[in-house]
Amino acid sequence: MVSRKHLLAASLILLTLATFARAQQSSTARKSYIGFDLNLYPGDNDLPALRKHFAFAGYWLNTPPGEDTNTWLGKRDALIRNGFGFLVLFNGRVDAELMKAQRAHTSPESLGQKDAAAAIAAAQREHFPAHTIIFLDQEEGGRLLDEQAAYLFAWTEAVAHSGYLPGVYASGQPVSEGHGHTITTVQDIREQVAAKHLHPIAIFVYQDACPPSNGCTLNPPSIAKSGTPDALVWQYAQSPRRKSITRACAKTYSSDGNCYAPNTPKLLLDMSVSDSPNPSHGR
């Protein structure tokens, strides 16, 4: 049972962030901040060049998707010295992993709680302050399957009780459910949070389709154009680009299909925009 006092406190914090975002979106003087994320730490020597263009960096607390090791651990101080804000990330489980665990008699809920404990411990080891938002990486789009929902909400609820705040990286790409109806992963998550009276979840939405994105550029549309109301962060460009949805902006990407920043031609990365230079409040 969720503590009413704890739920109210978490709700007020995220409501304040969402209200701040809406207020800035309505202001003609609103400033957007660009960030990057990539699986491998770029190296201390590349940070000054990256900081010329980016206000915040994705920071993995565990092994990123497709990698064998996490090269970000221990790099928080170096990023702070170079003036970066943070987008704190935790790699979640794909559905195949959840199904495999279930066959071994491990429930999605228990796996979500276990992974949340790992995320909390890693955030503490990396010296992220209380109320830092940790974003769970939910790679697969569309409506959540039952086991995906059980895992995700077990994770977010556990993080919400830890002193940190839960966030989710999820798709804002509409997926057809037939009969003219579409759903995005973010919509599904928000509907389930409301129906189940769960702690609020900050949203890091990925929607790299062109439009609304204009591709691999340092001058993206404002976050209000993402198609996901009240998102804290919008990932508008990915490496490699998804060809089926980025034809209209293909020329903004490199000939190899990846997105690179100026002055760092060897670093293929994803780009995001936010109304905050420190979206996770991790400084």
Domain harbouring 137, CATH code: 3.20.20.80
AA letter at 8: L
- Helix (H) or strand (E) segment spanning residue 48: helix 47-51
Mean pLDDT, each 10-residue run in order, the chain (283 residues)? 50 52 48 96 96 98 97 98 99 98 97 99 98 97 97 99 98 94 97 98 98 97 96 98 97 96 90 98 97
Residue matched to tokens 């993402």: 226
pLDDT value of residue 161 = 98
pTM for the model:
0.89
The CA distance from 249 to 11, in Å, is 38
Q: Give the closest residue to 152 by CA, choosing from 183, 198, 207, 120.
A: 198
Residue 280 lies in a domain: no
Residue 179 lies in a domain: yes
Residue 198 lies in a domain: yes
Residue 110 lies in a domain: yes
What is the total count of domains within the chain? 1
pLDDT value of residue 24 = 43
Residue 158 lies in a domain: yes
pLDDT value of residue 263 = 84
Q: Where are the alpha helices (DSSP H) in 52-145?
A: 76-81, 95-103, 108-125
Range of the domain at 17: 4-26+33-274
Q: How far is CA 181 from CA 27, 68, 77, 143, 188, in A?
A: 33, 39, 47, 12, 13
Q: Give the closest residue to 272 by CA, choosing from 21, 49, 64, 34.
A: 34
Residue 279 lies in a domain: no
pLDDT value of residue 10 = 52
The CA distance from 136 to 130, in Å, is 17
Residue 256 lies in a domain: yes
Residue 90 lies in a domain: yes
